[in-house]
Structure 1
Amino acid sequence: MTKGGKLVGGAMAIAFYPGSFDPMTNGHLDVLLQALQVAEKLVVGIGIHPGKKPMFTFEERADLIRSSLAEAVPSRSAELEVVSFDNLVVDAARAHGATLLIRGLRDGTDLDYEMQMAGMNRQMAPDIQTVFLPAGVASRPITATLVRQIAAMGGDVGAFVPAPVLTAMKNKLNR
């Protein structure tokens, strides 16, 4: 149980927020900011899948996450670490000392899927608690896949991504 970002008993609460973040969206940023309210440190884990070709490299995604947080809440930037992982989420979380696993929810479909994942993760790692954070109303319809598709077709994604991501997407797509 946490109280003010600390586990009862004085230990620091570390949360692990996994995803592809390709690209980082306003929905991701919303969940990230909420996660910083329940943990003193947040480790964002960028999942690396060898079979997928992402729009942004790991390094680019990590930089965009850091710069988006720095722009939104400069005072909390030191509490963020960005890492890559290619194993089970619970193993990656444990490797970084996390006791909380952050998952964002947009709707009931997300809840159904995430409840299954939380159950499986709890069986594998009972020491790691899944925390569901609801997306804000404005970010509920946003998915990274739709953002990539809209941008690739020349659409304006400025309402869906933080400013540093918008700039990076424009630069990447205008090459």
Structure 2
Amino acid sequence: MRIGLYPGTFDPVTLGHLDIIERGCALVDRLVIGVAINRDKGPLFSLEERVEMLEAECADLAGRTGCEIIVHPFENLLINCAHDVGAQVIVRGLRAVADFEYEYQMVGMNRALDDTVETVFLMAEARHQAIASKLVKEIARLDGEVAKFVTPAVKDRLMTKLGKV
């Protein structure tokens, strides 16, 4: 069984994330979505809320793609999380060239820690390349429209969380 790990904060999950998840499913039999417990980032949504959103958004995706999708919170090193879930590959999404520099460093460090786990980069679809969770939250805070960037269910949760409904 080919197992992939797609890590991120997912605060909140965007259409860009869902695009990478769907295309990552074409590469593996099981895709583990690693939800990072990153206290330094100070997420808007709790870990439990981010896990719930991902599980809800991926429920029909698993059936459509035939890929088993598991949402798995983690707080350890990414390479250790890959070991914990049995992943042979780490799936990362790229939006722009700026993402590549950071990701390039991460791959180098992860390969130094364990050169048996590969990293695969998937470019976001053109219509999703500008989407970043941080920007989605800022647009919503400032009363902008976020329907182009997240699903209706995530939009509702975001607006509720920000006290906009």
TM normalised by structure 2 equals: 0.92
CA distance in 1, matches of 2:51, 2:120: 22
Paired amino acid for 2:119:
T
Residue 33 (str. 1) matches residue 19 (str. 2): no
Contact 1:70 1:76 in 2 (8 A): no
Give the counterpart letter for 2:146 in structure 1: V
Q: Are residues 77 and 169 of structure 1, via their aligned partners in 2, closer, same or farther at CA, if it must alter by over 3 Å?
A: farther
Shift of residue 64, structure 1, vs aligned partner: 0.8
Residue 148 of structure 1 and its aligned partner are, at CA, apart by 0.6
**C-alpha distance in 1 between matches for 2:150 and 2:138:** 13
Counterpart of 2:93 in structure 1 is 104
Match of 1:90 in 2: 79
> 2:131 is matched with which residue?
142
Give the drift of 1:51: 3.8
Q: What is the letter of the counterpart of residue 169 of structure 1?
A: L
* Preserved contact between residue 11 and residue 133 of structure 2 (Cα < 8 Å): yes
User: Structure 1: any 5+ residue segments left out of the alignment?
Assistant: 1-11
The count of corresponding residues between Structure 1 and Structure 2 is: 164
**Percent of aligned pairs with the same residue?**
38
Q: Is the 8 A contact 2:3 2:87 kept in 1?
A: yes
**Would you say the 8 A contact 1:24–1:61 is kept in 2?**
yes
Which residue is 2:108 aligned to? 119
When the two structures are superposed, what TM-score results if normalisation uses the length of structure 1? Answer: 0.87
Structure 2 alignment gaps of length 5 or more: none
